[in-house]
A = this chain, B = another copy of it.
Amino acid sequence: MKVAVLGGGSWGTALAREVSNNNNETTLYIRNEEQFEYMKKFGVNKKYLPNVQLPENLEFVNNPLDAIENKDIILLSVPTNSVRSLLDEIKDDVSDDVIIINSAKGIEEKTLMRISEIVKEKLPNNRFVTLSGPTHAEEVALDDPTAIVAASDDLDAAACVQNIFMSETFRVYTNDDLLGVELAGALKNIIALCTGVLVGLNYGDNSKAALMTRGIAEITRLGVAMGAKSRTFLGLAGVGDLIVTCTSEHSRNRKCGKLIGEGMKVEDAVKEVGMVVEGIKTTLAAKKLSDKCGVDMPITNATYDVLYSGASVEESIRKLMTRAKKHEMEGFF
């Protein structure tokens, strides 16, 4: 297959390497000119994957329209809030039979739209697949065994994506619950933020595991209310990604939460992290969605109170622990 990868961050580069290694004719678009020149010359993504020599058959371009020319598949690997403008740049040159893959996780800030919805708006006739799961780009680029899910309303399109990626070290599962996979990937950042708070407070393993488990339970409840399948949240995009994000020292959401748990003000913690902390906006989005769907999300609500209403962390945890007695699966299905 002929594949364009749009976005030369660590994840876009690692994915371009995978498809290229599988003998697909692959072109990687890098926006930053200096980075593009370096990559073209040395075959190395100096900024994001400095220790990885990229395959010789991988082509680099500095213009998205050059990248997508005559391609069967276009993979988007830009931050959630840049997807819309990138699609505006390319949409007139994308034919209807091209499969669009997205590899970002998130909900658009202004519109609360999932990425599949943005793509639907801009490219209504193209089949769409999202990639999600527990996947540090740095490990994928070093061929550490990794499993990921390719989700689509169209299982043939998902199987096509499975085919171009599948290798001895990169195992792709298909899933037809696109909504569930997208929601799981975005909402887990709230729980990662909260786990960071517990780390900052020096709480132990029991507390973190309880938070993650009850967190995935309320995310599942919201997802099911919106039409997703509960079992998706037990999968790679749900529990799998949650485990990696909540246990990784590298997660920005976890880092930000840790600073808040240590007593830093929210705005100072965000400044200190110095990059986008998706969990903060996602908490607002989830709060709106749960209110709209009438779903009880106590952890999300407590997080919202801490982030947006100046509630104390300790008091919020006490409130969570002293809620009414519950059946574990209350409101679950």
Q: Which residues of A approach B to under 8 Å, CB–CB?
A: 133-136, 139-140, 142, 144-147, 149, 155, 159, 162-163, 166, 168-169, 171-176, 203-210, 212-214, 216-217, 220, 229-236, 239-241, 243-244, 247-248, 317-318, 321-322, 325-329, 332-333
Task: Give 21 pairs: A residue, B residue, CB < 8 Å, sorted on A.
Answer: A134-B205, A134-B213, A136-B204, A145-B317, A146-B207, A171-B210, A171-B321, A173-B326, A175-B329, A205-B244, A205-B248, A209-B236, A213-B234, A213-B235, A213-B236, A216-B234, A230-B231, A231-B332, A235-B328, A236-B328, A243-B243
A240 to B205, CA, bound (A): 10
Residue from B140, B149, B207, B322 in contact with A206 in the complex, judged by beta carbons closer than 8 Å: B140
A166 to B163, CA, bound (A): 51
A329 & B206 in contact (Cβ 8 Å cutoff): no
A328 & B144 in contact (Cβ 8 Å cutoff): no
State how many angstroms separate the Cβ of A320 from the closest Cβ of chain B. 8
State how many angstroms separate the Cβ of A151 from the closest Cβ of chain B. 8
Residue from B166, B174, B214, B317 in contact with A328 in the complex, judged by beta carbons closer than 8 Å: B174
Closest chain B residue, CB of each to CB of A249? B205
Residue from B136, B175, B212, B236 in contact with A205 in the complex, judged by beta carbons closer than 8 Å: B136
Residues of B within 8 A of A203 (CB): 144-145
Residues of B within 8 A of A207 (CB): 139, 144-146
Q: Which of A142, A159, A163, A325 has the most C-beta atoms of chain B within 10 angstroms of its own C-beta?
A: A325
Closest chain B residue, CB of each to CB of A159? B325
Q: Which of A139, A147, A214, A326 has the most C-beta atoms of chain B within 10 angstroms of its own C-beta?
A: A147
Closest chain B residue, CB of each to CB of A162? B325
Copy count, this protein chain? 2
B240 & A210 in contact (Cβ 8 Å cutoff): yes
- Apart from the given pairs A139-B206, A145-B321, 5 other A-B contacts in the complex at a CB distance below 8 Å: A133-B209, A173-B326, A174-B326, A213-B235, A235-B329
Residue from B204, B241, B326 in contact with A144 in the complex, judged by beta carbons closer than 8 Å: B204
A247 to B171, CA, bound (A): 23
A214 to B146, CA, bound (A): 11
A229 to B135, CA, bound (A): 29
Closest chain B residue, CB of each to CB of A155? B327
Residue from B175, B217, B229 in contact with A234 in the complex, judged by beta carbons closer than 8 Å: B217
A240 & B212 in contact (Cβ 8 Å cutoff): yes
State how many angstroms separate the Cβ of A314 from the closest Cβ of chain B. 11
A144 to B199, CA, bound (A): 12
Q: Which of A176, A213, A332 has the most C-beta atoms of chain B within 10 angstroms of its own C-beta?
A: A213
A280 to B317, CA, bound (A): 38
Residues of B within 8 A of A209 (CB): 133-134, 236, 240-241, 243-244
Residues of B within 8 A of A172 (CB): 325
A318 to B169, CA, bound (A): 8
Residue from B149, B162, B321, B325 in contact with A169 in the complex, judged by beta carbons closer than 8 Å: B321
Residues of B within 8 A of A162 (CB): 325
A203 to B140, CA, bound (A): 11
State how many angstroms separate the Cβ of A144 from the closest Cβ of chain B. 4
